[in-house]
Every structure is written in C-alpha cells, then in structure tokens.
C-alpha cells in the first residue's frame, strides 16, 4: 500500500456510497489514493435495503483481493446446484459444481447469495477505519472538498445526477416486465439449491439466504407485480405456491413484497474528461441470471487496475470506458435475449427451447461454457482465469 498524508485534500471524489461506490472507494484507498466518498444517505440508511445479491466468481476474486471475503463469512450463502426450468417447453437443466471451470471448482459453490445489510455494514466500517477515505454521508454533511478533485467517479445509481450534469446520453429499453422481490420461508428446496424458472410471463429466481429463508425475484408484467405486491400475506403465498416447482411450498412471508420497473440501460460513453461512470450510474440490465452487481463490481476491478497502473486523469478515464463497454454490451444483449427467448409462448421459440434445453442437459462442455460466461463474464470465456 502506498502511504499518503491523510490530511491532504482527496484527489478522487466518488459520488454515491451504494455497493459500487463504497467498494470502489475502499479499493482505491487500498492503493493509497485519497478518496472523498459522498452520499446524501446516512450510514444507517445505506444499510437499510432489504435485498440480496447473487455473487459470482468474478466478484469473489475481487472481494478476496480486498480482504473482504473471509470477514463476510456466514453472510455468504453458497449454492451448489442451479436448477433451470422452462415452464413453456417443459425442459430443465441442472448446473452443478462440475460445470465450473477448474480454478473456480475448488471454491465449492456455483455462486453465493449475499445480504445487502451485511455487505454494507462491513464496507462502511472498513471505510470509517481507513485514513485515506473522507466520508461525507447524509444530507447535512459538508462534503469537505478544499479543492476540486482531480478525478470524479459517478457511482450515484441509475438516475445519476452526475451523469446528467456531464451530459452523457444513455441507450434505454424499458421492459414491459417489472420485478417483484420478497423474502419467504420455503419447504422442500434441496440443500444448496437455487432456481431460475422461466415462465411465459417472465423469469422467477429463488435464492437461498443466510437465515434459512429465500429471496424470490419474480418478473412479470408490471401491473401483475403491483397487484401481487398489494395482496394480503396469505393470498400472496397462495399465488407464489402456483408458480414454484413441484414439491416446493411457501410457508411464511417475512417482508412486504416490493415491485420495481425493469430497464436495460447503457450509457453511450462511461467517461467525460477526467470523470467516469461506474455501476448503475452507467448501466442496468434485466435481473435474469443475477448479473447486476457483478457487472458493477467488474467496473470497480477495471478502474482500480487502471488507476494502479497509470494514475488518474482523462487517459485513464478513456481506457476505462473502452475496456468496460464490450462486457456491458454483451451481458446486456445476453440477458435481453434470454428474456425474449423464454418469456413467451411463440410456437417457433417453444420448439427451439425444446431442442436447446435437452442439448444443454446432455452436454457438459455447453453447460461449462454458459456457466463460465455467467460467472466470470463473457470476455473471460476461453481465457486463463486469474488466481
């Protein structure tokens, strides 16, 4: 780690202390960069979301590098089987640890589910302890910038005021599907199991949580999501029971279901002069496949590596934008294609799925290819993985 006087003005200003901005500030502080991390939310507000993230091996590697993996410990719930089913064609595929690439296989999981609160608690406590980070949290905080930062990072979420003030345009495709999330107790799920169920109205993910409960991410036309979010607890569980796989029963609803619109969004450029966009300030995709936060953290990894090798400034910003765009575009296209292919009853597409899923179920190289693209990112397919 490079030493720097903690009382000097921050040279990097990170706007937004969500999971992306906080992790980036910590990663840059690890290199000895002086960082101002600012957010209108207070620390308790930043931790208060009821949400769980699917964590892939690309995120695992970054958290290990930053010495956060072991401290997250019990908050990371591994899943060793991913059961993919298509209600429209009746096909199914079971992904297991043997479908991972060899370097990932020894980590004993296809992926992990991480609760937002545990993650933010750890990130904020590490940030408070870092002599290289100045925290400006809450609406009343003086951001404490004595001189303009040399490098500005917008991590201020999908409606990013920074992106708008920089005048960076976005490509946007709003989905008719919305997404409803709920935390439930389920009976009948095999230990270590997670589900991705494709249904004509939209995909449904069932993800195991640390306390033995499950996070349900249920995509459907937005009005259906809103109607289901308004149901009484018993009626909601009855509706959920009709879409879960056979043998899996919902017992209890643990929080109020919340409905959100879904959009595929990609900024036309991820930089403007010495300012860059990271995380959802620059891109968003459909939650199918649990790619969201992992994509945001690949931004963090790329930007941190570039700052380490060539410092801060417009050239780093330009390289960052060029390097991240292909991954963001490919994952955006792939998730969009999955939604279009599976969320319908079109006879030709159903026939295609009736061929595709048995091929996947029978072919281990094909399953390994799909899992590698999902867990390491499409640009790492066929390339050596880092340790």
Q: What is the dihedral of CA 324, 22, 336, 383, to 10 degrees?
A: 40
Q: Which residue lies nearer to ligand FAD by CB, 290 or 377?
A: 290
Q: Is 17 in the site for ligand FAD (CB under 6 A)?
A: yes
Residue whose C-alpha is closest to residue 111's, from 52, 190, 56, 60: 56
The contacts of residue 355 (CB under 8 Å, 6+ apart) are none
Which residues in 111-170 contact ligand FAD (CB under 6 A)? 155-157, 161
347-362 helix and 364-376 helix, angle to the nearest 10 degrees: 100
From the CB of 345, what's the least distance to ligand FAD, in Å? 26
Q: Which residue lies nearer to ligand FAD by CB, 38 or 104?
A: 38
> Could you tell me if 208 and 214 are in contact, meaning their C-beta atoms sit under 8 angstroms apart?
yes
Stretch that binds ligand FAD, among 72-80, 82-90, 239-247, 290-298 (CB under 6 A): 290-298
Of positions 16, 88, 202, 377, contacts ligand FAD by CB under 6 A: 16
What character string, x for contact with ligand FAD (CB under 6 A) and - otherwise, covers 347-376? ------------------------------
From the CB of 351, what's the least distance to ligand FAD, in Å? 31
Q: Which residue lies nearer to ligand FAD by CB, 34 or 284?
A: 284
| Concatenated DSSP letters of 155-178 | ---TT-HHHHHHT--EEEEEEEEE
Of positions 10, 29, 53, 93, contacts ligand FAD by CB under 6 A: 53
Q: Is 96 in the site for ligand FAD (CB under 6 A)?
A: no
* Count of residues touching ligand FAD (by CB under 6 A): 32
> Could you tell me if 152 and 142 are in contact, meaning their C-beta atoms sit under 8 angstroms apart?
no
Q: Is 21 in the site for ligand FAD (CB under 6 A)?
A: yes
Residue whose C-alpha is closest to residue 121's, from 58, 85, 74, 176: 74
Of positions 10, 13, 19, 133, contacts ligand FAD by CB under 6 A: 19
DSSP strand pairing (81-86 vs 76-79):
unpaired
Structure token pair of residue 201: 């109205």
**Three-class SS state of 284:** strand
Stretch that binds ligand FAD, among 38-46, 77-85, 124-132, 352-360 (CB under 6 A): 38-46
125/123 Cα distance (integer angstroms): 6
In the complex, the residues that contact ligand FAD under the rule CB under 6 A are: 15-21, 38-41, 46, 51-54, 155-157, 161, 179, 181, 217, 260, 279-280, 287, 290, 292-294, 296
């Amino acid at each position: 780690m490079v030493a720097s006087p903690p009382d000097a003005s921050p040279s990097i200003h990170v706007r937004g202390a969500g999971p992306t901005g906080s992790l980036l500030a910590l990663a840059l502080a690890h290199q000895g960069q002086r960082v101002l991390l600012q957010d209108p939310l207070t620390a308790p507000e930043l931790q208060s979301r009821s949400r769980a993230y699917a964590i892939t091996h690309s995120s695992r590697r970054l958290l290990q590098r930053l010495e956060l993996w072991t401290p997250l410990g019990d908050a990371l719930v591994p899943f060793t089987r991913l059961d993919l089913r298509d209600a429209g064609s009746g096909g199914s595929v079971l992904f297991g640890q043997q479908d991972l690439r060899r370097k990932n296989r020894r980590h004993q999981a296809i992926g992990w589910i991480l609760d937002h609160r545990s993650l933010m608690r750890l990130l904020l406590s590490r940030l408070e302890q870092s002599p290289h980070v100045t925290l400006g949290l809450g609406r009343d905080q003086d951001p404490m910038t004595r001189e303009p930062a040399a490098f500005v990072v917008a991590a201020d979420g999908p409606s990013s005021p920074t992106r708008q003030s920089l005048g960076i345009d976005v490509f946007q495709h709003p989905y008719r599907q919305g997404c409803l999330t709920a935390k439930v107790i389920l009976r009948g799920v095999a230990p270590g199991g997670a589900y991705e169920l494709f249904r004509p109205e939209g995909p449904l993910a069932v993800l195991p949580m640390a306390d033995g409960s499950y996070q349900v991410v249920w995509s459907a036309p937005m009005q259906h999501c809103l109607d289901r979010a308004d149901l009484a607890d018993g009626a909601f569980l009855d509706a959920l029971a009709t879409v879960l796989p056979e043998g899996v029963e919902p017992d209890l609803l643990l929080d109020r279901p919340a409905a959100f619109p879904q959009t595929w969004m990609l900024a036309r450029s991820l930089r403007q002069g010495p300012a860059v966009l990271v995380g959802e300030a620059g891109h968003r995709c459909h939650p199918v496949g649990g790619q969201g936060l992992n994509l945001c953290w690949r931004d963090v990894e790329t930007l941190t590596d570039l700052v380490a090798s060539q410092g801060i400034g417009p050239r780093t910003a330009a390289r960052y934008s060029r390097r991240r765009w292909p991954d963001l575009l490919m994952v955006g296209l792939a998730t969009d294609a999955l939604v279009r292919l599976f969320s319908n009853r079109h006879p030709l597409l159903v026939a295609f799925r009736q061929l595709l899923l048995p091929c996947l179920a029978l072919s281990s190289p094909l399953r390994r290819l799909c899992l590698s693209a999902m867990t390491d990112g499409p640009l790492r397919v066929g390339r050596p993985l880092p340790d």
